[in-house]
Amino acid sequence: MSGRQRTLFQTWGSKVSRSTGAPTCNSGTERPQSTGISRARFPAVAEAAGAAEVEPESDDDVLLVAVYEAERQLNLENGGFCTSAGALWIYPTNCPVRDYQLHIARTALFCNTLVCLPTGLGKTFIAAVVMYNFYRWFPSGKVVFMAPTKPLVTQQIEACYRVMGISQSHMAEMTGSTQAFTRKEIWSSKRVLFLTPQVMVNDLSRGACPAAEIKCLVIDEAHKALGNYAYCQVVRELVKYTNHFRVLALSATPGSDIKAVQQVITNLLIGQIELRSEDSPDILPYSHERRVEKLVVPLGEELEAIQKAYIQILEAFASSLIQRNVLMRKDIPNLTKYQIILARDQFRKNPSPNIVGIQQGIIEGEFAICISLYHGYELLQQMGMRSLYFFLCGIMDGTKGMTRAKNELSRNADFMKLYDHLDSMFSHTRSTSTSGVSAIQKGGKDKKFCYSHPKLKKLEEVVVEHFKSWNARKTSDKKCDETRVMIFSSFRDSVQEIAEMLLPHQPIIRVMTFVGHASGKSMKGFTQKEQLEVVKQFRSGGYNTLVSTCVGEEGLDIGEVDLIICFDAQKSPIRLIQRMGRTGRKRQGRIVVILAEGREERTYNQSQCNKRSIYKAISGNRQVLHFYQGSPRMVPDGVNPQLHKMFITHGVYEPEKPSRNLPRKSSIFSYRNGIKQSNSKDDWFLSEEEFKLWNRRYRLRDTDEIQQITLPQVQFLSLHNEENRPTEEPTVGIRQLSLSEWRLWQDHPLPTYQVDHSDRCHHFINIMQMIEGMRHEELLVISVD
C-alpha cells in the first residue's frame, strides 16, 4: 500500500527476461491440455501460459505468468497510475508545517511549476514531497532529480531522504564517473534517480534511460536552463518519447531579466510560477532579517593614476575601430567588453563592402585585443591592480595563447611602461599564488601585504570588526567558533588575494579559499571531493571565514553564516540573490556589498532595478510572460487526491561507497560478537525492550518444528544453470514455501484503516481467485472422468 514494496513480478520473477513477453517455463515434460485454465475466461493469461511447459501441479509457475500479465496491464492503464495510492497525497509532519510550502507542493503536483524561493526556505523540501507522492502514485514509474554539479547531487539525495524517507534501496546517485553499463543497470533496477543533466542527456541519446517510464522530473538551479544547456536538451529528448511527465523546477531567482525568464519557462515547459521574495507575507514568519549594507569606496589616487594610464592604452587600440566605423561609441572610458563583443558580431553579420580581404582579418584582430583589454579594465576597477597584473601576465607569458595580442602590446610603449610598473609591485606574489593558501601560511606572512584596491582595506575592516564585536557580545571560550563569515569574489586571483590579506589575523580569523574544480595558471582548482571537505570543515568550525568564487553561491549547504561580503557587483541579480541566501536562515544575517565608486556602483544599481522589474512582471501583469499550456494531467479523470498529513520516520542515511552502485544489504539488527550494538530509534534498530520481546516470542529456536524454509524450485529456460536444478524431496523439518498454499488468506481483501488496498493488492487477489477457479475446474474434470 505504501508504494515501497517491489512489484509482484519483481518479487517472484525478477530474474525472468521481460524482453520475450511472458515468462517461459519448462520442466522437461509437456503440459497436458487439462490444465484447468479457461482460455475464454483468461485469454491473456492462457495465451502466455500456453507457451509455457510446466508440470500440472506447479501452481506457482502459472502464478508467475499471471502476475506478469497483470503487471503489464497495470502499466497500460492510466499511464501506470495506482488509483488506490492516488486517493491521497501525503504531506510530512516530521518537519514543521509551513503554509507556503504546503500550498506550493499542492500546486506542483498538478501543474508543471517553477518554484522561486529565497535560499534556505525549503525548495528541496518541496521537491522531496512532490517526488515521494509521484513515487507512490506510479509504482512502476521513475522519478528523476537533476542538479548541475556532483556535490549538489550528493547533497540532494541525502536531503530528500531525510524529508520523506524513500527507501535507499530504491534510490541511486549517478554522475559522469558512473560507468555506462552500470548506469544502464541502475536505470532498470532503481526508481528514484539523482544525477547531473549531462549524464541524463548521454543516457537518453544512447537509449539507456527508459524515457517513457519517467513520471516526475525535478530540475535544481533551473535558471540555468538557457540556450542549449543540458537541462534544455533533457526536456527536448524526453518529449520525443512521452508527454506524460511532471516538471518541477527550482531556483532562488527565475532569471536575470524578463527575456531570460521566458526562456526558462519555454525550455522547461513551465505552466505556473510560484514566486516568493524576502518581503512576501507568507514567508516573513519563517525568515530572519537580512540587513543589506552598500559601502561605496573611492578609487584613491594610486588606482586612479593606473586607470588613467590604462585608458590611454585603450584609446590607442579602440580608436582604430572607431575610425573604421565598426565601433560607434566614442566614449572610450565608459565602453564595456560586452558592447565591443556586440559590435564585433554586428561587423561579422553586416561587413562593409569597402572592407575586404586582409583588412577584415586586421579588424578581427583589433576586436580581439580590445575585448581582452576591456576585460582587464573591468578587473582593474572591481578587483584591483594585482588582478589586472595576473591577467596581463597570462597574455605576455603566452599561457593564454594570444600571440598577436602579445606582439601588438609589446610594441606599445605606454603598455610596457604600465606592465613593468605592475611587475615591480606584484611579481613576488605569483609564486605563492600558484600554491594556494597553505604555501602562504608557511612562508608568506613576513612580507608586507600590498593593498591593490581600496576595497580590500575596507573589506579587512569589516571582517575584523565583525569578529571583535561578536567576541564582545559573547562570553564562551569558543567565541569565534560560533560565527561564520563568507566572502564572495568572481575571480580566483582576487579570492587568493583576499585570503592572503586575512591570514595575519589568525587565530581569530581562520580563512580558507573555496574555488571550482577547473585548474588554472594562477591557482589550482579544488576537486569536488575537496570542495565537500572544505564545506564540512567550515560547518564544523575548522575555518570560520570562507573566501569563495561563484561555486559557493548555488546549492551547496554551507551552513549558517552571519556575515556575507560581496566584493564585486554583477549586472545579473541572480548572483546577488544566491549570495544573500547564505545568511539569515536561523538568526539575523548581515550582507555587506563593497562597491568601487563609478561604474561598479552603477552596475549594482542597475542589477537591483532589474530584480524589481522581474518580480513585478511575474507577480503583477501575467500577460508579460507566456506559460506552457500543455501541462499533462498526471492524475486520471475522476480521481481527486486528498491531503493526508502524516509523520514520516526515516533511518540513518548511508552514503554510497565510491565506485559502487549496487544496492546495499541492510539488517534490522546490528550485532558484533553476538551483542546488539545500538538501541537508537533513529537508525531503525529495535529498542532493548523490543529486542527482548522479539527474542522471547518470535525468534525461531533450533528445537522448533520448522528449521528451514526453502523457495520452490522453478525451472526457467533463461535461468537453466546449476542453481536451478531440481533438488531432492524436502527432508523432515524443512518447509517449502508455496504461494498457492496460502490462498485461503489471500483470495479476498482483509480489513484496512484509512488507506485502502493498492491496485497491486487487488490484482493479486484476482490472481489467487483465478488459481482457485482453476483448481475447481480440474476437480470437476476429474470427477466427470
Residue 456 near residue 498, CB atoms below 8 Å: yes
Region for 22 from its dihedrals, namely left if φ exceeds 0, alpha if ψ lies in -120 to 50, beta otherwise: beta
666, 670, 674, 677: CA torsion to nearest 10: 160
Question: How far is C-alpha 697 from the chain's CA centre?
Answer: 46
Residue 192 near residue 170, CB atoms below 8 Å: yes
CA distance 434 to 251: 34
Q: Which residue has the cell 530540475?
A: 219
> 385-396 and 358-382 are packed helices; what angle lies between their axes, rounded to 10 degrees?
150
Which of the pair, 66 or 160, is modelled with greater confidence?
160
CA distance 203 to 233: 12
pLDDT at 18 over 70: no
Provide the pLDDT confidence category of residue 77 given band limits of 50, 70 and 90: low
CA distance 464 to 459: 9
Find the range with the poorest average confidence among 179-188, 310-319, 718-727: 718-727
CA distance 59 to 61: 5
Provide the pLDDT confidence category of residue 763 given band limits of 50, 70 and 90: confident
Q: Which of 241, 215, 45 is nearest to 138 (CA)?
A: 215
pLDDT at 527 over 90: no
Dump pLDDT digits (tens) for 395-413: 888 777 778 888 888 888 9
CA distance 749 to 761: 8
Which of the pair, 573 or 434, is modelled with greater confidence?
573
Find the range with the poorest average confidence among 99-103, 372-376, 547-551, 665-669: 665-669
Predicted pLDDT of residue 365: 87
Predicted pLDDT of residue 36: 40
Burial class, 187, CB count within 10 angstroms (exposed 0-12 / middle 13-18 / buried 19+):
buried
Predicted pLDDT of residue 660: 41
Q: Which residue has the cell 526556505?
A: 121
Residue 260 near residue 610, CB atoms below 8 Å: no
Question: How far is C-alpha 547 from the chain's CA centre?
Answer: 23
Question: How far is C-alpha 559 from the chain's CA centre?
Answer: 17
DSSP label at residue 638: T
Provide the pLDDT confidence category of residue 361 given band limits of 50, 70 and 90: confident
Region for 772 from its dihedrals, namely left if φ exceeds 0, alpha if ψ lies in -120 to 50, beta otherwise: alpha
Predicted pLDDT of residue 691: 77
Burial pattern 247-278, b for ≥16 Cβ within 10 A else e, equals bbbbbbbbbbbbebbbbbbbbbbbbbbbbbbb
Predicted pLDDT of residue 453: 92
Give residues with Cβ within 8 angstroms of 17, minimum separation 6.
718
Q: Evaluate the CA torsion angle 79, 84, 85, 88 in order and state its sign.
A: positive
pLDDT at 779 over 80: no
User: Mean pLDDT score of the chain, rounded to an integer?
Assistant: 76
CA distance 112 to 273: 9
Q: Give me 327's grid cell.
A: 565601433
How large a percentage of the chain has pLDDT more than 70?
71
Taking the CB of residue 473, how many other CB atoms lie within 10 A of it? 10
Dump pLDDT digits (tens) for 143-201: 999 998 888 888 888 888 888 888 888 999 998 888 888 899 999 999 999 999 999 99
Predicted pLDDT of residue 702: 56
**Helix H or strand E segment including 689:** helix 688-697
Predicted pLDDT of residue 90: 94
* 740: phi then psi, degrees, rounded to nearest 5: -70, -20
Predicted pLDDT of residue 618: 76
Q: Which residue has the cell 517472484?
A: 12
**Of 2-6, 66-70, 622-626, which one has max mean pLDDT?**
622-626
3-state SS class at 229: coil
pLDDT at 670 over 60: no
pLDDT at 720 over 80: no
Q: Long-range contacts of range 612-616, CB-CB < 8 Å, 24 or more positions apart?
A: 613/257, 613/258, 614/253, 614/254, 614/255, 614/257, 614/258, 614/261, 614/573, 615/275, 615/277
Q: What is the pTM of this model?
A: 0.64
Provide the pLDDT confidence category of residue 687 given band limits of 50, 70 and 90: confident
Burial class, 177, CB count within 10 angstroms (exposed 0-12 / middle 13-18 / buried 19+):
exposed
Mean pLDDT, residues 223-239 taken together: 94
Q: Evaluate the CA torsion angle 183, 186, 187, 192 in order and state its sign.
A: negative
Find the range with the poorest average confidence among 74-88, 440-454, 629-643: 440-454
Task: Count CA atoms closer than 13 A to 565's CA, side-chain side.
Answer: 25
Burial class, 75, CB count within 10 angstroms (exposed 0-12 / middle 13-18 / buried 19+):
middle
Helix ranges restricted to H, 51-179: 59-76, 99-110, 123-137, 150-164
Provide the pLDDT confidence category of residue 516 given band limits of 50, 70 and 90: confident
Provide the pLDDT confidence category of residue 231 given band limits of 50, 70 and 90: very high
CA distance 780 to 785: 9
pLDDT at 272 over 50: yes
Dump pLDDT digits (tens) for 572-607: 666 666 666 655 555 667 889 999 888 888 888 888
Predicted pLDDT of residue 366: 87
Question: How far is C-alpha 400 from the chain's CA centre?
Answer: 33
Q: Which amino acid is at 595?
A: L
Q: Evaluate the CA torsion angle 126, 129, 133, 138 in order and state its sign.
A: positive
pLDDT at 139 over 70: yes
3-state SS class at 644: strand
pLDDT at 102 over 90: yes
Provide the pLDDT confidence category of residue 749 given band limits of 50, 70 and 90: confident
Q: Which value, in Å, is the radius of gyration of the alpha carbons in the chain?
A: 33
Q: Which amino acid is at 721?
A: N
Taking the CB of residue 437, how many other CB atoms lie within 10 A of it? 21
CA distance 121 to 105: 13
Predicted pLDDT of residue 225: 93
Which of the pair, 661 or 91, is modelled with greater confidence?
91
Terminal-to-terminal C-alpha distance of the chain: 44
Q: How far is CA 498 from CA 151, 291, 525, 771, 783, in A?
A: 25, 23, 17, 76, 94
pLDDT at 637 over 60: yes
Which of the pair, 353 or 572, is modelled with greater confidence?
353
Predicted pLDDT of residue 26: 39
CA distance 505 to 502: 6
Q: Which of 540, 633, 600 is nearest to 297 (CA)?
A: 600
3-state SS class at 248: strand
Dump pLDDT digits (tens) for 32-59: 333 344 443 444 444 444 444 444 445 5
Give residues with Cβ within 8 angstroms of 779, minimum separation 6.
none
3-state SS class at 137: helix
